[in-house]
Structure 1
Amino acid sequence: MPAFPATGRSALRRGRVSRPEQVYLVTATTRHRQPTFMDHARARLASQLIHARGTWGDAGLLAWVLMPDHWHGLLELGEEPLDRVVARFKAAVARELHASRLFEGKLWDRSFHDHALRREESLLGVARYIVGNPIRAGLAHSALGYPYWNAVWLDEDEPLPL
């Protein structure tokens, strides 16, 4: 029987390797790309969970943005595989939104996209790309005008330069 190329979620999983200390750009989309996080209460609760250290296990979250229909994160893995880290994040957000009665039904698409950063790629450049998403989408004129993002490079008084 001829082998058919993988499509959809199986294509995303094929070749996925989790390496400790590797930095990944991760994108998770809401179910059917619904603008679930246009709602302030949902976005605020999700952001609190994104900030919670327990959400990430031994991985480090370097930068992130929550958009109306997706989330981008820059993650540095520990020993736990990437798929488990992302699954825990998605489950935590869905569980809390359901428990708070802010959302019903399936929140996230089943899979996610990831890109392992190469040595020559700039962490700060990728972080700027991530937090610049709301500006490119027309949701804000500057990073300071959009509340649902963060990066480890921030001082308390100084935002990530764009």
Structure 2
Amino acid sequence: MQNTRLLLGRRSSVGLSYILTTVVHDRAPLFTNAAVAALAVREFQRLDQEGFTRSIAYVVMPDHIHWLVELRAGSLETVMKRFKSRTAQQANRLLGRVGRFWQACYHDHAIRSDESLHRHAMYLMGNPIRAGLTSRLGQYPHAWCEWELGASCDLPDDMSSGG
């Protein structure tokens, strides 16, 4: 069942950028399987190729994904329905399981014009560090950012801990 609080005020506009987050059902760590994580990455790329999105950064965590994306066509609802249904079908087949793969809803945050896409991308890329999955930016295998990540690319001071 959809959480109506998450739907209140939800708008999507072509040309705007968003951070999208969605969680695996019951927070099962299904993306610890590298092949399943690769399915999610391929689906980000597929939606880009289909012209719905332009990925700016993404990270596939063990039990959820974060995706910084520019909406190029359709709506957030359309994009997320395609992403979730395709990944669920493929992942369930790969894992030999049935049933729900994703939680019903997703979270979106529209990036205001005065917010920095780079800053948000670095925050997303820092999630594996904060979760203890890696120690350095750019080393986590299931993450990508359009900006080159290197030793000189630090997390913003106020984003290096927490969430």
What is the RMSD of the two structures over their aligned residues, measured on CA atoms?
A: 2.0
CA–CA distance in structure 1, aligned partners of residues 143 and 125 of structure 2: 6
List gaps (5 residues or longer) in structure 1. Answer: 1-7
Q: Which whole-Å CA distance do the structure 1 matches of 2:52 and 2:45 have between them?
A: 14
| Structure 2 counterpart of 1:33, one-letter code | R
Change (3 A) 1:26 1:106: same
Give every structure 1 segment of 4 or more consecutive aligned residues whose post-TM-superposition deviation is greater than 4 Å. Answer: 53-56
Q: Is the radius of gyration larger for structure 1 or structure 2? A: 1
TM-score by length of 2: 0.83
Point out where structure 2 has 5 or more consecutive residues left out of the alignment: 155-163
TM-score, structure 1 length as denominator? 0.84
Worse-superposed segment, 70-79 or 45-54: 45-54
Provide the C-alpha distance between the structure 2 equivalents of 1:77 and 1:120, rounded to a whole number of angstroms. 18
Deviations 1:82-120 (A, max 9, x none): 111111111111111133345432110011000111111
CA distance in 1, matches of 2:50, 2:8: 23
Amino acid at match of 1:161: C
Partner of 1:86: 80
Q: After superposition, where does 1:76-115 map in structure 2 within 5 Å?
A: 76-115=70-109
Could you tell me the percent identity over the aligned residues? Answer: 35
Count of aligned positions = 152
User: Residue 126 and residue 103 in structure 1: after superposition, are their counterparts in 2 closer, same or farther (change >3 A)?
Assistant: farther
Match of 1:106, SS state, is coil
